[in-house]
Chain A
């Protein structure tokens, strides 16, 4: 009975506990697993970085160089616009833009739909250019074969320490815009040492997408990883 007015209408009902024990990433992980199976005959890269590292320019240069050698496709992720997809389309490579709206990362469900729509040819090299963000994309497995983090020399050599989750989850770090090294305070060896501290297995390449420095090494890395998957 209510102690205020004497009624029994608004007594506190007894609460009960319901066991749930569900992983909140389970749904995304299930979609990622399905993507991995759908991409079995392809090789896929999840390209991550903060905004402005040069991901799209890197992609455009890579596509231009590799399109005569291998089947290519791109999934672009941005909050708004098709500007990046338009740049890719100009290279005559199949591309699909995902606009995430308020969301700050791609997820496996969105990527799954994009894979269905793209209808990849066998032995395609698929690039998934994630939303520019050094934090959230690290949490969402998209079903990719390799995760590549791009860090430009204008961003600071201590980023691997400051954003460890992203670098811990990456297979390769591309240090980009090395043509600007004479003009910025970036210690590449220090950056590499920081990244190895976070992730001892991370591979590293130093490149300049605009000037072409070491781009051949990046392309060889891509093609040899494709070969390895398809011939194993």
Chain B
């Protein structure tokens, strides 16, 4: 499923940000999902659980913000510790 590809992109962004910002753990990930983006939230959460195991983002929650007339999927911000 394509949500797995997106989760790998999320982890690459998190890895880059953890080097820049020196944090230990990600608590929450805020993602904006466009209505036309064809991304399924539950599939993304499921795929993310798999991809994040053993990383700083293990057990992080995902907060979704819906944007109706958009094709985009954007990682808006991270809540970190």
Contact = CB atoms under 8 A, between A and B. Distances in A.
A21 B80 contact: no
A17 B73 CA distance: 19
Contact of A140 (B2, B75, B77, B80): B2
Interface in B6-36: 6, 9-10, 12-13, 17, 21, 23, 27, 31, 36
A102 B4 contact: yes
A23 B74 contact: yes
Contact of A104 (B1, B27, B31, B36): B1
Nearest to B28: A15
A20 B73 contact: no
Contact of A135 (B5, B38, B73): B38
B62 interface: no
B72 interface: yes
Interface in B58-81: 72-81
Contacts of A17: 77-80
Given A24-B73, A136-B2, 6 more contacts: A15-B81, A17-B78, A17-B80, A18-B21, A20-B78, A165-B38
A105 interface: yes
Q: Tell me whether chain B's interface is mostly helix, strand or loop, or mixed.
A: mixed
B80 A15 contact: yes
Which 6 pairs between the two chains have the least Cβ-Cβ distance?
A136-B2, A24-B73, A18-B78, A13-B81, A20-B75, A24-B9
Contacts of B78: 17-18, 20
A24 B77 contact: no
Contacts of B36: 165
Contacts of A135: 2, 38
Given A104-B1, A139-B2, A21 B74 contact: yes
A15 B73 contact: no
Contacts of B72: 23, 25
Interface string A152-188: 0000000000000100000000000000000000000
Nearest to A140: B2
Contacts of A24: 6, 9-10, 31, 73-75
Given A15-B80, A18-B21, A19-B77, A138 B38 contact: yes
Given A13-B81, A15-B81, A165-B36, A136 B1 contact: yes
A112 to B, nearest CB: 15
A85 to B, nearest CB: 23
Nearest to A135: B38
Contacts of A217: none
A222 B9 CA distance: 35
6 contacts: A16-B80, A16-B81, A18-B21, A20-B78, A105-B2, A139-B39
A22 interface: yes
